[in-house]
Amino acid sequence: MGGLRFVLTFAVTFASLTLRILANIIVKWALTVAVSRISIALYIRERIKHENTRERLTQRITKLELQANPTRTSSQLTTKGRTRKEDQ
C-alpha cells in the first residue's frame, strides 16, 4: 500500500508541476502578445499623428515658399512629404 501511495503522490505532484509550468508559459506568452499589440498600436498612432502634423505644417511652408520663389520645385512636394510621381 505504501508503494501505491508514493506513486499516487508522485503523479499528483508531477501533474501539479506540469500545470504550473504550462500556466506560467501561457501567462508569459499572453503578456508578450499584449505588449506587442500595445507597441504596434502606439507606433501606428504616432505615425498617423506625425503625418497629420507634417501635412498641417507643409501647407504653411508651401505658401511661404511660393511667395518667395514661385518657380521653386520643392513647393510642388505632396502634403505627405513624398516626392511627386513626375520626379521619380
Q: How far apart are CA 88 and CA 81, in angstroms?
A: 14
Q: What is the pLDDT of residue 32?
A: 97
CA-nearest of 25, 21, 26, 2 to 10 is 2
pLDDT in tens, 30-83: 999 999 999 999 999 999 999 888 888 887 887 888 888 877 766 566 666 666
Q: What is the pLDDT of residue 84?
A: 64
Q: What is the pLDDT of residue 74?
A: 63
Task: Inform me whether the pLDDT recorded for 29 exceeds 90.
Answer: yes
Per the structure block, which three cell numbers stand in for 65? 515658399
Task: Report the length, in residues, of the chain.
Answer: 88
Spans of all domains in the chain: 2-70
What pTM was computed for the model? 0.59
